[in-house]
Chain A
Amino acid sequence: MNDRPRLSGLILTLLLVALAAAVLFPIGLTLVSSLMSEAEIGLNYDLIGKMVDTANGGQEAFVNLKLLPDWLTLAQYSQVLILSPKFLSMFWNSAGLVVPIVAGQALVGSMAAYAFAKLRFPGRDKLFFVYLMTMLMPFQVTLVPNYLVLHELGLMNRPSAIILPGIFGAFGVFMMRQFMSHIPYALTEAARIDGAGQLTIFARVILPLAKPGLAALTVLLFVDYWNMIEQPLIFLQDAGKQPLSLYLAQINQSARGVGFAASSLYMAPMVLLFLYAESYFVEGIQHSGIKG
């Protein structure tokens, strides 16, 4: 009788391990390959699946993926960080775009979400529905109107062409509203009875309770905008202003080692942010009801 739950637990664990391995394997491979020399990477990846006449007495053998480098080298990192200013310049471009967007959307989104979640005004739900509609539309659909508006405003080829639409994105409003709607009305009512204004209630009551939601929003927005491709590609023609996300696309086959090193560094801010906000993130996702 007791064996059944134990067996299903085991199967579940194995399934999760396999899933985790599938997710972690590319990341681990990227990190390992970033420490290989360019020549070793060539030997490793170019010959996979081929019959190769190895040095072993002319025997033929299949080449498999190499998971540990023969020689550890930091040459690729030195290429990326020292010998060329391009990566770092694009890294700071990315930071300059993503930090204002995340901070701005977290602030604007949470204030709007407070209004949608805790204030009662005519047409509130209809307006929220319109918000949702803009979120549901993919970027490509709104590309042309976005382009025309930015062009008319004279914002083309400026970082604000990315930052302003980012700050006023609908996702933050949606997520924070979902999170805030779980906060009981009793708390806001109590504050109001104690004589608190809307701003005080928002800042002193709601915002501290919405911390996990804000953390989750920050991580999700950071990942989303750190990886954006289309917006900078279209709105930032000037190569000197483009973010890091466009950098990896420019790496060709002859510089795969550089690509692995750049990818490892590219991942680092996202991984660090996730680890930092991990517990808030899980809680925030749970309460905002957007999991799965």
Chain B
Amino acid sequence: MEGRTSGFSQRQLRLISGLFLALLAACTLAGNTIRGMSLPKVYTQLASQGSITHEYEGSATVQPVRTRDIHNPAGWKVNQVFVKTGDKVDNGQKLIAYDNGEAKLQLEDMLNNLKKQQLSYSQLQTDYKVAATEGDEGKLAAAKIALDSAKLDLASQKNHIQSLQKSIAEGQSVLAPFAGIVVQVNALAGSGPGGLPDVVLTDSSKGYQIQLQVPGDVAGMLEIGEELNQISLTGKESRQLTGTIEAVDDGMPGAPEGNPSGLNASAIQPSSVKIRLEDDQLIGGERVRVKIAKSSKEQTVIVPKEAVHQDGRGTYVFTLESREGALGNAFYAVETPIKIADSNSYVVSVAEGLFGQQEVILNSTGFLMDGMRVRR
């Protein structure tokens, strides 16, 4: 005691030791809290092997494949309408009767005129015979010309009459050209011809279709002739329908097919898809809801979309790397460039850069940079 040489008193040393131990104890007890404040916490998920599913949901209106506008054939007044909208009609069924009274009157006049012409023709024949008997050359020639002229008039009148008779026969009514459904009736009894077709008919034998604007990523996986069964009729009587894809019309001709580095490139350009519906009870105009879900065939590494970032250099994800150090395992965020093969709204399929079971950072409590230390 008396020989102390270090220059510290016992009291000072006790104080220093006490502070040293207190510091260590404080760091031990509050270490987790301090670490939490100083390192960003990350939320991770393992990259998994799987296929990517593209989904589409939309609604459309049922339309007939073929419709026919039926016009007033002769421009007469409508006498009677036999059908109304929604009626099913058979081939040859009478749809509308027209008023042909005026035409009949005209025909009668023409028949009377014909009779008159026939009478005057007989007179001309008699005149010709007299001139021949008299032997007067001049009279004979004049009588022959008059006779020939009357013959031509008669033939012409007969033609007119035939034509009128035909148009009366054809124009007094219109018949259904095929079995179908009346979708529109514009004709009104007693009214004359308007600009619109009197009746619009759909062709039942050709069936019904819907047309949808499907995002490119889903449309690209559809095949013509493929059957879809997630089509449901909405409205009063809802039921399931089946349909067949008839045509897939790519949105923009000449546009590149999917951009491997882009996240949404293939989803941007929608395609027009025609689906033929098979159902006897459809009449057209119904609303249907369509769901399409297609999975890619090949298995790739799948990561959630929120884990994928883009900048000027390309697309990348942050993976979590555990490095063994003097202080035990420490975790670091590592920027890993990837190549995207495909994506939907939730996940991204990675073609290059990642392997299954690699831990990918989804989210963090702070800004992340390559090589930054983080905590799990």
Is there a chain B Cβ closer than 8 Å to A14's Cβ?
no
Q: Are B10 and A276 in contact (CB under 8 A)?
A: yes
Encode B17-31 as 1/0 by CB contact (under 8 A) with A. Answer: 100100110011001
Q: Are A82 and B3 in contact (CB under 8 A)?
A: no
Is there a chain B Cβ closer than 8 Å to A68's Cβ?
no
CB distance from A3 to the nearest CB of B (A): 29
CB distance from A2 to the nearest CB of B (A): 28
Is there a chain B Cβ closer than 8 Å to A252's Cβ?
yes
Encode B22-59 as 1/0 by CB contact (under 8 A) with A. Answer: 01100110011011001100000000000000000000
Q: Are B17 and A87 in contact (CB under 8 A)?
A: no
List residues of chain B with CB within 8 A of the CB of A283. 3
Contact A83/B24 with A272-B16, A276-B17, A279-B4 known, Cβ cut-off 8 Å: no
Q: Are A258 and B326 in contact (CB under 8 A)?
A: yes
Contact A82/B35 with A255-B325, A272-B17 known, Cβ cut-off 8 Å: yes
Is there a chain A Cβ closer than 8 Å to B1's Cβ?
yes
Q: Which of B8, B28, B39 has the most C-beta atoms of chain A within 10 angstroms of its own C-beta?
A: B28
List residues of chain B with CB within 8 A of the CB of A262. 326
A29–B47 Cα distance when bound, in Å, is: 47
List residues of chain A with CB within 8 A of the CB of B17. 272, 276
Is there a chain A Cβ closer than 8 Å to B328's Cβ?
yes
Is there a chain A Cβ closer than 8 Å to B280's Cβ?
no
Q: Are B6 and A275 in contact (CB under 8 A)?
A: yes
A247–B27 Cα distance when bound, in Å, is: 18
CB distance from A74 to the nearest CB of B (A): 12
Q: Are B39 and A83 in contact (CB under 8 A)?
A: yes
CB distance from B260 to the nearest CB of A (A): 37
Which residue of A is nearest B20, CB measured? Answer: A268
Q: Are A87 and B13 in contact (CB under 8 A)?
A: no
Q: Are A278 and B4 in contact (CB under 8 A)?
A: yes
List residues of chain B with CB within 8 A of the CB of A254. 325
Contact A279/B1 with A81-B24, A85-B31, A272-B17 known, Cβ cut-off 8 Å: yes
CB distance from B143 to the nearest CB of A (A): 135
Which residue of A is nearest B5, CB measured? Answer: A278
A203–B24 Cα distance when bound, in Å, is: 35
Which residue of B is nearest A253, CB measured? Answer: B326
List residues of chain B with CB within 8 A of the CB of A89. 28
A85–B2 Cα distance when bound, in Å, is: 41
Which residue of A is nearest B2, CB measured? Answer: A279
Q: Which of A258, A269, A279 contacts B327 (CB 8 A)?
A: A258
Is there a chain B Cβ closer than 8 Å to A250's Cβ?
yes
Encode B130-158 as 1/0 by CB contact (under 8 A) with A. Answer: 00000000000000000000000000000
Which residue of B is nearest A274, CB measured? Answer: B6
CB distance from A133 to the nearest CB of B (A): 35
Residues facing A in B317-362 (CB within 8 A) are 325-328, 330
CB distance from B13 to the nearest CB of A (A): 5
Q: Which of B13, B32, B39, B326 contacts A276 (CB 8 A)?
A: B13
Q: Are A81 and B5 in contact (CB under 8 A)?
A: no
Which residue of A is nearest B10, CB measured? Answer: A276
Residues facing B in A235-252 (CB within 8 A) are 247, 250-252
A259–B13 Cα distance when bound, in Å, is: 25
Which residue of B is nearest A256, CB measured? Answer: B326
List residues of chain A with CB within 8 A of the CB of B32. 85
A58–B310 Cα distance when bound, in Å, is: 42
List residues of chain B with CB within 8 A of the CB of A252. 325-326
Q: Which of B23, B27, B34 has the most C-beta atoms of chain A within 10 angstroms of its own C-beta?
A: B27
Q: Which of B4, B16, B34 contacts A82 (CB 8 A)?
A: B34
Encode A41-69 as 1/0 by CB contact (under 8 A) with B. Answer: 00000000000000000000000000000
A88–B22 Cα distance when bound, in Å, is: 12
Which residue of A is nearest B31, CB measured? Answer: A85
List residues of chain B with CB within 8 A of the CB of A88. 24, 27-28, 31
A279–B373 Cα distance when bound, in Å, is: 47
Is there a chain B Cβ closer than 8 Å to A185's Cβ?
no
A81–B17 Cα distance when bound, in Å, is: 17
Contact A83/B27 with A255-B326, A276-B10 known, Cβ cut-off 8 Å: no
List residues of chain B with CB within 8 A of the CB of A82. 27, 31, 34-35, 38
Which residue of A is nearest B32, CB measured? Answer: A85
List residues of chain B with CB within 8 A of the CB of A258. 325-327
Q: Are B13 and A275 in contact (CB under 8 A)?
A: yes
Encode A71-114 as 1/0 by CB contact (under 8 A) with B. Answer: 00000000111111111110110000000000000000000000
List residues of chain B with CB within 8 A of the CB of A234. none
Which residue of A is nearest B325, CB measured? Answer: A255
A283–B4 Cα distance when bound, in Å, is: 11
CB distance from A218 to the nearest CB of B (A): 14
Contact A86/B328 with A272-B17, A272-B20 known, Cβ cut-off 8 Å: yes
Q: Would you give 7 A-B contacts (Cβ < 8 Å), ordered by A?
A: A82-B35, A255-B325, A272-B13, A275-B6, A275-B8, A280-B1, A283-B3
Interface residues of A (CB under 8 A from B): 79-89, 91-92, 247, 250-252, 254-255, 258-259, 262, 268-269, 272, 275-276, 278-280, 282-283
A-B contact sample (14 more), CB < 8 A, given A84-B328, A272-B20, A278-B4: A83-B39, A84-B330, A85-B31, A85-B328, A86-B328, A250-B326, A251-B326, A272-B16, A276-B10, A276-B17, A278-B5, A278-B6, A279-B4, A279-B5
Smallest CB-CB A-B distances: 4 pairs: A84-B327, A251-B326, A255-B326, A86-B328
